[in-house]
Amino acid sequence: DADVTQTPRNRITKTGKRIMLECSQTKGHDRMYWYRQDPGLGLRLIYYSFDVKDINKGEISDGYSVSRQAQAKFSLSLESAIPNQTALYFCATSGEGSDKNIQYFGAGTRLSVL
Amino acid sequence: AQKVTQAQTEISVVEKEDVTLDCVYETRDTTYYLFWYKQPPSGELVFLIRRNSFDEQNEISGRYSWNFQKSTSSFNFTITASQVVDSAVYFCALSDYTGANSKLTFGKGITLSVRP
């Protein structure tokens, strides 16, 4: 099984709908991240969390919210989806020790907002 | 503020050619980490290497090698004898070293196509 699991893998929704993307991890990492990828723009950070009680906005947080339900779970919500939120979304985790600052990514969720 | 520039957007080579992917970064930190990730057509992001700023030795792993030059703020990636399976988008990234802020700043990626 994957260490970082994202669900769903693909989602099509309509403008104005609320949608939640979920991420769970078995790596035991405290730090979790949500990114979006758009063609030609690379990955941009939406939100990040260094532990259950610590949640921070990234560079493009407008229109998104997150919930860190447990160390292993970090969900991203689009309260009212709009077409320019169509993108590939990635969850990532990072830990300490020998893997310090290395981020491990889920397989991604491809979201289309019509 | 941190910035990563991958000036090449698309590169196309014929199998067995060597290819170098360029990465230039900007940071005010004196210690930091640099990374390369690979995104094959299947879409997942695969970690390739992490290099800390106080270790300027070049690294080789099979057909892959990385050249870190602090003087020019560059961390270039060379694939020797490229193969079709190397076709992917490659991202260079930067983070601070202390761990207080482990966010990654990514470049926009380089799409590498290796033709048979």
B9/A contact by beta carbon, under 8 A: yes
Closest chain B residue to A107, measured at CA: B44
Q: Tens digit of pLDDT for each residue in A40-84?
A: 888 999 999 998 999 999 989 999 999 999 999 999 999 999 999
Q: Over chain B (116 residues), what is each successive 10-residue block's mean pLDDT?
A: 94 97 94 95 93 88 94 96 97 83 87 96
B99:A96 CB<8 A? yes
Q: What percent of chain B lies above the pLDDT cut of 90?
A: 80
Say how many residues make up chain A: 114
pLDDT band for position A17 (cuts 50, 70, 90):
very high
Residue A82, Cβ neighbours under 10 Å: how many? 11
pLDDT value of position A60: 94
| Cα–Cα distance, A114 to B12 (Å, whole number) | 34
The beta-carbon neighbor of A40 closest among B37, B102, B108 is B108
Is residue B21 within 8 Å of residue B7, measured between CB atoms?
no
A42:B106 CB<8 A? yes
pLDDT value of position B81: 97
**Alpha-carbon distances, residue B66 vs A12, A63, B4, B22, B57 (angstroms):** 40, 38, 16, 10, 9
| Cα–Cα distance, B116 to B14 (Å, whole number) | 6
**pLDDT at A1 exceeding the cut of 70:** no
pLDDT value of position A97: 79
Structure tokens belonging to residue B2: 């941190």
Residue B16, Cβ density class (10 Å: 0-12 exposed, 13-18 middle, ≥19 buried): exposed
Closest chain B residue to A2, measured at CA: B44
